[in-house]
Amino acid sequence: MTSNKRDDEQELDHDIEEALSHIEELKLSGSHQESIKEAEKLLCDNPNCVHALEEIADNYVSLDQFDRAEKACERALKLNEKSYTAKYILGFISSQKQNWPKAISYLKSSNDLHSNNPEILRCLGWAMFNNRKRTQGIVILERALNLDPDNSLTLCDLGICYLQTKNFDKSVELLKHAMDIDPDNNRVKECLNAAKGFKERYLKMNK
């Protein structure tokens, strides 16, 4: 009986893994509502499935439904207080709301649980920079970029930070790289134009 029970558990684990893989595929394809429905089905059969709650939260973030994302994360953390994904998502949402101290708290905790993740570090660096810890924020963003050198989001965030610290050459360099990677990104375009404009004005003033 012990052997049969173990086999059943392994089969269930495999089924959960397959279901989560399908949920992830739907999310990455942009089918967020369908992904949420599938995750909710998985939760009906496995109410303690933290990964399903994390996927639900991630989908709701993509839909800009932050309140629902937060509820899913809070439920995930009740089941597993070491869910670095739930803490990362809560940190990201706090950043979107410009609640920098709260964002930093969640993101630091997420990074402690899952270090050297470039996306967690990117968000942490951005939050630190905007919370008046500019040098530390830039250092963390540079670390994120070293881990993922062609991430247009990190390049753009770091470019904005260097623009605000008046390092115009570095800002333009990073934003040009981001533009090469993601030429249709309006945020990158606007930031690159701004950086070029500030650089030109700075050069004229110092002639």
Instruction: Find where tokens 């499935």 sit.
Output: 49
The reply to whether 202 falls in a domain is no
The reply to whether 198 falls in a domain is no
Residues 145-165 have pLDDT tens digits of: 999 999 999 999 999 999 999
Looking at residue 132, what is its pLDDT? Answer: 96
Six token digits for residue 30:
């942009």
Q: How distant, in Å, are the alpha carbons of 28, 75, 170 from that of 155?
A: 22, 33, 11
Candidates 84, 81, 87, 119; CA nearest to 104 is 87
Contact 52, 46 (CB under 8 A): yes
Six token digits for residue 81:
């207080």
The reply to whether 62 falls in a domain is yes
Looking at residue 200, what is its pLDDT? Answer: 84
Cα(79)–Cα(182) distance, integer angstroms:
38
Looking at residue 207, what is its pLDDT? Answer: 61
Contact 118, 141 (CB under 8 A): no
Candidates 36, 41, 33; CA nearest to 16 is 41
Average pLDDT, the chain: 91
Q: How many domains does the chain have?
A: 1
Instruction: Report the 10 Å Cβ neighbour count for 14.
Output: 10
Share of the chain above pLDDT 70, in %: 93
The reply to whether 13 falls in a domain is yes
The reply to whether 42 falls in a domain is yes
The reply to whether 63 falls in a domain is yes
160 burial class (0-12, 13-18, 19+ CB within 10 angstroms)? buried
Task: Classify residue 149 by its DSSP letter.
Answer: T
> What CATH number did the domain enclosing 27 receive?
1.25.40.10
What is the band of 205 on the pLDDT scale with cuts at 50, 70, 90?
A: confident
Average pLDDT, integer, range 104-130: 97
State the distance between the two ends of the chain, measured CA to CA, in whole angstroms.
Answer: 85
Average pLDDT, integer, range 100-128: 97
- Which range marks the domain in which residue 28 is found? 1-81
The reply to whether 9 falls in a domain is yes
Cα(24)–Cα(82) distance, integer angstroms:
21
> DSSP per residue over 172-192, as a string?
HHHHHHHHHH-TT-HHHHHHH
pLDDT of 2 > 70? The answer is: no
At residue 100, what is the residue type? W
What is the band of 127 on the pLDDT scale with cuts at 50, 70, 90?
A: very high
The reply to whether 26 falls in a domain is yes
Stronger pLDDT, 9 or 29, i.e. the higher one = 29
Looking at residue 201, what is its pLDDT? Answer: 82
Task: Classify residue 1 by its DSSP letter.
Answer: -
What is the band of 9 on the pLDDT scale with cuts at 50, 70, 90?
A: very low
